Amino acid sequence: MTNPIMDVLRAETILVTGTNTTENHPIFANYIKEAVLKRGAKLLVVDPRRIDLVDYADLWLQPKPGTDVAWINGLMHIIIKEGWQAADHVAECTVGYEEFAKNLEKYTPEYVAEITGIATGDLYRAAKMYGQARPASILYAMGITQHTSGTDNVKCLGNLAMLCGNIGVRGGGVNPLRGQNNVQGACDLGALPNVFTGYQKVADQEVREKFAKAWGLESLSEVPGLKVTEMFPAVEEGKVRGMYIMGENPMVSDPDLHHIEEALKKLDFLVVQDIFLTETAQLADVVLPGVSFAEKDGTFTNSERKVQRVRKAVEPVGEAREDSWIICQLAAAMGYQMNYADARAIMEEIRKVTPSYGGISYERLEKKALAWPCPDEDHPGTPVLHVGQYACGKGVFFAIDYRPPAETPDDEYPFILSTGRVLQHFHTGTMTRKGSGLTRLYPELLAEIHPADAEKLGVGEGDFINITSRRGSIKVKAWLTERPQPGVVFVPFHFSEAAVNLLTNPALCPDAKIPEYKVCAVKVEKAS
């Protein structure tokens, strides 16, 4: 996120797209509601599915799934045509505008309407709502990223914010809402295949030398590792023979689960470290019992880049051990000593090798959370990025064209399937489905289907339907609701007994390698 969470209270317009905020980020959603109801902000929701925030919105656009580049380009086409762009900001602070603007010429409201199904008048109203607002905030989540065009979608939102001068200002920004409490921190600290901590690239010789010296090594490899979605094909090719999976449950969360299971069973050796015996752990040769957040010390870095202390509340149960202790013991057994007295000592090493975390110490975190970059102990932290100047010098406009999803409906598979979460459960249900209270609130898997589609299929409320893609089939109970548009079915992915990811398409965004969870072609039939 470029801006802190509470900045939405300063926004004139809030653009929410690809995020079912009330169900996936309910606390954040409360700030959006406060901005609208108490601060007079205008709310623009763009989502193929009717989410709860639509009830608070000044305008809701309902594009066809997978058409985000087209409608974002359409907004910018209108903004430029009407002269609503921040011309001084564009001229002084950005590069690439001419090529970018020329590419937008064909994205007329009529052309965009053909692709997206959005009425031309509504597109114009949306462009005016965002284009004339200063400041305006953009919030998005995996409804934007989980596409083969995911990287393009994000770049387009960046284009839109730059075009209107909404970067580097309070109340503005481009703000991805992270799906888990420390996913930002995990990325910050090197849980990516091509960087060390603080996004320092492994391809940079000077960076490698710095880390080798810090860790007492002669050298470090310059070759990036594999992204998660590249690992399983590599197993099938015989290039990966062992896996160590920690706190992840790909047997429920990854696309095309038949192939995931085949790959995991093909491994010579599989280790899973988790707090419960997940569906993935059941396939492991060795299971290492880790601990929950309440049983360890450390830090979380949240969506707004704010580093917060986590303090142990209870002692680990049975043979469970802190994850850092397990990792250090494994390193020692493999011939490399990793001796840290406690979590504070680990944080001290992080500070020494990570410029953006250089000023973040436990002493300071005892008093308040700090947002990186925070290069030294006199620095107050950086709530808003790109103030006065973009981090890369000048903001770069990208000329991006719409391309359709990897799989679109046809005569055999006439429906679009989209997946996501519900309020009552989290991710693969490893924790939330263990609790009786949450299970009572949402006890079984439901497929959302539009009543018009259900009538054509002869499906009534509560009937079971078979949903089939080119990769598999599941049987699930139907919930007749106008939340999805006709021709679209929505199924949560928390339920392993009818895992929707048996159906999803493993086609990847070429840049980020994220799967296209939000769009795949399926057929829907009433179950016998």
**Structural domains of the chain, ranges and CATH numbers in brackets:** 5-177 (3.40.228.10), 183-371 (3.40.50.740), 415-526 (2.40.40.20)
Highest mean pLDDT among 117-126, 318-327, 332-341: 117-126
Do 403 and 69 form a contact (C-beta atoms < 8 A)? Answer: yes
Q: Per this entry, what is the length of the chain?
A: 528
Q: How many C-beta atoms lie closer than 10 Å to residue 236's C-beta?
A: 12
| Phi, psi (rounded to 5 degrees) for 473 | -145, 145
Q: What percent of the chain has pLDDT over 70?
A: 100
Do 36 and 65 form a contact (C-beta atoms < 8 A)? Answer: no
Nearest to 267 by CA among 255, 251, 247: 251
Query: In whole angstroms, how far apart are CA 490 and each of 40, 505, 512?
Result: 32, 15, 24
Q: For residue 300, give every residue at least 6 positions away whose Cβ sits within 8 Å of its Cβ, in sequence order, or none.
A: 181, 182, 185, 293, 307, 308, 310
Query: In whole angstroms, how far apart are CA 58 and each of 54, 156, 360?
Result: 8, 23, 41
Kindly give the pairing relationship between strand 42-46 and strand 59-61.
parallel
Model pLDDT, residue 253: 87
Q: How large is the average pLDDT for residues 350-366?
A: 96
Write the DSSP assignment of 299-315 as a string of letters.
Answer: EEE-TTSEEEEE---SP
Q: How many C-beta atoms lie closer than 10 Å to residue 205's C-beta?
A: 11
Q: Is pLDDT of 429 > 90?
A: no
Instruction: Determine the Cα–Cα distance for residues 25 and 302; give it in Å rounded to an integer.
Output: 12
Instruction: Determine the Cα–Cα distance for residues 35 and 176; give it in Å rounded to an integer.
Output: 18
Model pLDDT, residue 332: 95
The 3-state secondary structure of 193-256, one letter per residue:
CCECHHHCECCCHHHHHHHHHHCCCCCCCCCCCCCHHHHHHHHHCCCCCEEEEECCCHHHHCCC
Tell me the pLDDT of the chain averaged across its residues. Answer: 94
Q: How large is the average pLDDT for residues 428-442?
A: 85
Model pLDDT, residue 528: 84
Whether the CA torsion 5, 228, 353, 346 is positive or negative: it is positive
pLDDT band, residue 442 (cuts 50/70/90): confident
Model pLDDT, residue 180: 82
pLDDT band, residue 498 (cuts 50/70/90): confident
User: What would the two tokens of residue 129 be?
Assistant: 């709502």
Model pLDDT, residue 434: 86
Q: How large is the average pLDDT for residues 200-223?
A: 96
Query: In whole angstroms, how far apart are CA 495 and each of 135, 185, 408, 439?
Result: 41, 27, 25, 11
Model pLDDT, residue 123: 98
Q: How many C-beta atoms lie closer than 10 Å to residue 276's C-beta?
A: 15
Per-residue DSSP letter, 393: B
Model pLDDT, residue 382: 96
The tens digit of pLDDT for each residue in 42-59 reads 999 999 999 999 999 999
pLDDT band, residue 392 (cuts 50/70/90): confident
User: What would the two tokens of residue 460 be?
Assistant: 């009534």
pLDDT band, residue 482 (cuts 50/70/90): very high
Model pLDDT, residue 288: 97
Q: Is pLDDT of 119 > 90?
A: yes
Task: Identify residue 16 by its one-letter amino acid code.
Answer: V
Nearest to 137 by CA among 21, 5, 37, 301: 5
Q: What percent of the chain has pLDDT over 90?
A: 89
Do 488 and 450 form a contact (C-beta atoms < 8 A)? Answer: yes
Which segment of 305-319, 334-348, 486-500 scores lowest on mean pLDDT? 486-500
